[in-house]
Structures are given as structure tokens and as C-alpha cells.
Amino acid sequence: MKAVVFRDPETRVEVADVTLAAPKAGEVRVKIAAAGVCHSDLHVKRGEWEAPAPMVMGHEGSGVVTELGEGVTSLAVGDHVVLSWVPPCGECRYCLQGHEARCQKVATVVAPQGVLFDGTSRLALNEEPIHHYLGVSSFAEEVVVPASGAIKVRDDAPLDVIAVVGCAVATGVGAVLNTAAVEPGATVAVIGCGGVGLNVVQGAKLAGAERIIAIDIVPEKTAMALQFGATDRIDSSERDAVEQLFELIPDGVDYAFDAIGRTITTEQAIQMLGLGGAAVIVGLPPTGARASFEPLVLAEADQRILGSNYGSVRPSIDIPALVDRYMDGQLKLDPLISGRRPLDEAAEALDDLEAGGVLRTLLIP
């Protein structure tokens, strides 16, 4: 099959003829309908995160189940699925506590080693083993994934739209509804109105937030955020975002989401908080980045800093629910998709994301 292979940051990603082995016990094969190009793929491509290479890229996608490994009873051939880049093992203490986004086996085996649960890969290129990316590797015609990472969704939802639920939407909306548990009437600031930030905005709207302040250096992005439910916008290209925020909300906000993940935006999120406020880090920085805050202020103001990994989702519960909300008109997905390209144009899609100005490009095999 055709798949997009990453070797190292100096080498342009290439479409190669990769061998995909049959699913083993507990795994399924999925024919990919669409795969989203995410900033995490860009971090890998730029060498900002350590990633097992060579690998088949991609961690967001949708498709149809075509083959079941031994013992799989939760899925059937023909099921429509959205892929989850946390395939919960179901056995570790975090999975047993219901905190599946923290799955220990995913964090220690699947993600860092670029393999499936048994420690091996189903991917090869001329006999050379190729790693999986986050147990998904969706920039390909087909994938073999753990059954727990293929989340069955309703058949009438368009696969070439709902692919984005698997990362961007789950991460953004989940950060609001699960990690922060924003209450009705809350005030919310969102720094960064790209793919994840717009989902934080629409998550805040779903949660019933009273004020949602969208912040970005690109005015087109904050304009878009208004369509997703933001009540106010701040152009941070001209003047300090924190100063402008306090002009709008003199007491500071209840929740500030950093959907960028740069040192400056993380520090701004903390500075925007009012009494009892929580800063939520959703956007991911390069490895080793540091941010600072004043502990005395945090303690006296009874504030919190929260990290949010994959929107703290429980994939099998939250992903179908998010798809339902899209189908019911409560969530916008179509405006998040800037364009669709064939798999052969993966390198160009990554270039587009790097250049800015695109939200999500879907690769269609």
C-alpha cells in the first residue's frame, strides 16, 4: 500500500510502497477514508519531538473496518470508525480508573516505541521495519491498529469530515468539558484560534460559558472564532494580550486556555486568571520548553495550572458523542477543513501547515 514515510527532519517525507501485515489478536485493519494533518505531525517533521523513525506518519483519521484479528468482538467488518491516538489498554490503573487518555501502556510502549501493544510493528519497507506513529499511522491507504483505537461511530456521518474528531476536536472540546469541566456562566479566554483553539471555543460554548474571548495575532482567525461561539476578540499582534484581556474582564477570567503551547502564551494564560481561575495547557510546545509563574500569586489567588492530554477523553464514549453533536448541529466541523489533498501531496500539506493560514488539510488516499 501507499504510505507517507518520515525518516528524519532533513529528509522530505516521501510516499512509499509499504507492506502492512495482517492484524494480530486484538487488532483490526481499517481502510482509511481521510487523515488529518495536525501540528503534532509538524513537530515530528521539524525534529522538535523525539519520534521513532522511520515511521508512517499521521495520528488522525477515519475509515471502514475491513478485517478483524483473533478475538475481536467489539467491531465488525464494515463498521465506520474514527481512529484514536490513545488506544486504551483497558488493564492499567489509569484505564481502570476511567482516565483512558492517561493509559500507561500507550505512554510507555505504543507512543515512545512506535509499535503496537505486543512491542512489534505491522509496517515494513523492503523488509525494513517501519514504526507506527502513536499507534495509528493514518497517512496511508490502510492501517492496522488495536481494536480499542478504532472507535465505532454512526454510519450516516461523513467520513471525510469526522476524521478531525479523532485529534483536533477531541483535544479542544475535551480540554473544556473533561479536563477543566468549565461551568455554565464561566468566563473563558482562548489563546490561539487554529484547529485546536477553535474547538476550545466551541467547547466553551457547549459548556455554557458566558464570555469567550478569542485571542490571536491573525485577525482572520479571531473572526472565525466568533462564528464558533466567541463573544469577544483580541488582536494580540499589536498590544499585549494580557493588558487587553483585563480591559475587557477587569477581574480576570475563570479559565484561560493556551492552545498554542509557546512559553509566552503559557505565561499569558496564567497571568489572565482571576481568583480561583485555572490555566489549561492544550497546545504542545517543543521538548524542553520552560515557562515561569509567580507561586505566591497562584497560591494567594487559589489558582490552578492544568495540563490536558488528548482532552482527557475516554475515546469509546467521547468520540461517538462528539460525532453525534456534529450531526445534531451543535458542533461545527466543516469550517475546520481548509482543503483535501491526495496522499501523494502529504509533503505539500505539511508545508501549508508550516506556512500558516490553513486549519486542517485532509489527506484522501
Q: Which of 38, 89, 92, 193 is catalytic?
A: 38
Q: Is 170 in the site for Zn ion (CB under 5 A)?
A: no
Between 105 and 131, CB nearer to Zn ion: 105
Of 94, 97, 129, give the one whose Cα is nearest residue 108: 94
Q: Is 38 in the site for Zn ion (CB under 5 A)?
A: yes
Between 3 and 89, CB nearer to Zn ion: 89
User: Near Zn ion by CB under 5 A, which window of 91-99, 243-251, 307-315, 324-332?
Assistant: 91-99
Q: Is 319 in the site for Zn ion (CB under 5 A)?
A: no
Q: Is 83 in the site for Zn ion (CB under 5 A)?
A: no
Q: Is the previous residue joined to 129 through a cis bond, with omega within 30 degrees of 0?
A: no
Q: How far is 28 from 50, CA to CA, in rounded Å?
A: 27
Q: Is 136 in the site for Zn ion (CB under 5 A)?
A: no
DSSP string, 135-163: TT--SBSEEEEEGGGEEE--TTS-HHHHG
Compute the least distance from the CB of residue 130 to Zn ion, in Å. 20
Compute the least distance from the CB of residue 198 to Zn ion, in Å. 14
- Classify 104 as helix, strand or coil: helix
43 included as an active-site residue: yes
- CB neighbours of 57 closer than 8 A, spacing ≥ 6? 4, 5, 6, 13, 41, 44, 45, 133, 137, 139, 346
User: Near Zn ion by CB under 5 A, which window of 20-28, 123-131, 164-172, 322-330?
Assistant: 164-172
Task: For 76, list phi and psi in degrees, rounded to 5.
Answer: -130, 155
Q: How far is 123 from 209, CA to CA, in rounded Å?
A: 45
Between 38 and 204, CB nearer to Zn ion: 38
Q: Is 316 in the site for Zn ion (CB under 5 A)?
A: no
- CB neighbours of 218 closer than 8 A, spacing ≥ 6? 193, 237, 356, 357
Q: Which residue is nearest to Zn ion (CB)?
A: 38
Q: Is 259 in the site for Zn ion (CB under 5 A)?
A: no
Q: Which of 92, 95, 103, 167 is catalytic?
A: 167
40 included as an active-site residue: yes
Q: Is 62 in the site for Zn ion (CB under 5 A)?
A: no
92 included as an active-site residue: no
193 included as an active-site residue: no
The x, y and z cell numbers of residue 195, run together, are 484547529
Q: Can you say how many angstroms the Cα of residue 257 is from the centroid of all Cα atoms in its chain?
A: 15
Q: Burial letters for 349-361: b for 16+ Cβ neighbours within 10 Å, e otherwise?
A: bbebbeeeebbbb
- CB neighbours of 89 closer than 8 A, spacing ≥ 6? 95, 103, 104, 105, 106, 117, 148
Site for Zn ion in 105-134 (CB under 5 A): 105
Q: Is 167 in the site for Zn ion (CB under 5 A)?
A: yes
Do the Cβ atoms of 139 and 4 come closer than 8 Å?
Answer: yes
Compute the least distance from the CB of residue 103 to Zn ion, in Å. 3
148 included as an active-site residue: no
The x, y and z cell numbers of residue 145, run together, are 491498529
Q: Is 180 in the site for Zn ion (CB under 5 A)?
A: no
Compute the least distance from the CB of residue 133 to Zn ion, in Å. 10
Of 295, 236, 291, give the one whose Cα is nearest residue 264: 291
Q: Is 202 in the site for Zn ion (CB under 5 A)?
A: no
Between 147 and 273, CB nearer to Zn ion: 147
Q: Is 40 in the site for Zn ion (CB under 5 A)?
A: yes
Do the Cβ atoms of 137 and 110 come closer than 8 Å?
Answer: no
Compute the least distance from the CB of residue 41 to Zn ion, in Å. 7
Between 15 and 107, CB nearer to Zn ion: 107
- Taking CB under 5 A as the criterion, the residue among 95, 109, 140, 225 binding Zn ion is 95
User: Near Zn ion by CB under 5 A, which window of 9-17, 87-95, 226-234, 257-265?
Assistant: 87-95
Q: How far is 164 from 225, CA to CA, in rounded Å?
A: 17
Compute the least distance from the CB of residue 284 to Zn ion, in Å. 9
Between 170 and 209, CB nearer to Zn ion: 170
Residues that bind Zn ion (CB under 5 A): 38, 40, 89, 92, 95, 103, 105, 167
**Catalytically annotated residues:** 38, 40, 43, 59, 167
